[in-house]
Structure 1
């Protein structure tokens, strides 16, 4: 654990699933992107190669599980997967649903936003429940 790492000391979003190795959280601080989820490794490591092959496989199986749930429930035009960690060097993956109508499409969500009309998507309770159901299965995709 790092004394200064925010992902060591906070959940990093709304907790959807957690076990001894990782947690899955809904990111609440990207208001233009309600379909933004992180899979965060519990231990403070910076890179995938800091993990054993078994742990890398486990982590990525959860990334694929979240992606599949998002594709099924949110039906985006594209899914973005990113493991940047430049600002927070604690191993985590971003899974983000993208739509051709979103604020930055086709650029990354962290790029400067173009000056064009945009309508922020919303998630109704039934859709949110359907997505959470996939995550609640508490096992990675086989």
Structure 2
């Protein structure tokens, strides 16, 4: 699997956990692969919670446009532009630029921690970009 931080102006801690080999749906994976995927998802979620202390973590597996198994892992705060709606809804308020900047300043340390944790847990089966 690969972990990619999306470049989202309104949601700085927006990640995608992508299953490395092609699978359209979660049930296309074997039970062991599903367990591995959920372990990785929990590891990423816990990393965001530990490093950023958001109000909520959103997890989504949509893949309508790109029919390849991937999860969206998004740290959310009550001050974000879409709260409490999904990040794909219409913005409800002006973005909190200074708060987004403060989160962005913490992302390099979070990214390094996630890379190390994924490597420790999954070895060469995981990549973080």
Question: Match of 1:118?
Answer: 95
Aligned counterpart, 1:74:
52
The Cα shift of 1:134 comes to 2.4
Distance 2:26 2:120 in 1: 20
Quote how far apart the aligned CAs of 1:113 are: 1.3
2:3 maps to which of 24, 33, 48? 24
1:139 corresponds in structure 2 to 120
Q: Does 1:130 align with 2:95?
A: no
* Equivalent in the alignment of 1:11: none
Contact 1:81 1:95 in 2 (8 A): yes
Q: Deviations over 1:111-141 (max 9, x none)?
A: 0112x333131211xx223312321231349
Name the SS for the 1:31 alignment partner: coil
Q: Select 2:84's aligned residue among 95, 106, 111.
A: 106
Separation in 1, partners of 2:72, 2:10 = 15
Question: Residues 106 and 140 from structure 1, CA distance in 2 versus in 1: closer, same or farther, beyond 3 angstroms?
Answer: farther
Distance 1:74 1:91 in 2: 26
Which blocks of at least 5 consecutive residues in structure 2 are unaligned?
Answer: 123-129
TM-score by length of 2: 0.83
* Residues 78-114 of structure 1: per-residue CA shift (max 9 Å, x gap): 0000001111110000000000000000000000112
- Structure with greater helix share of residues: 2
Q: Which runs of 5+ in 1 are unaligned?
A: 1-21
Q: How many residue pairs were aligned?
A: 116
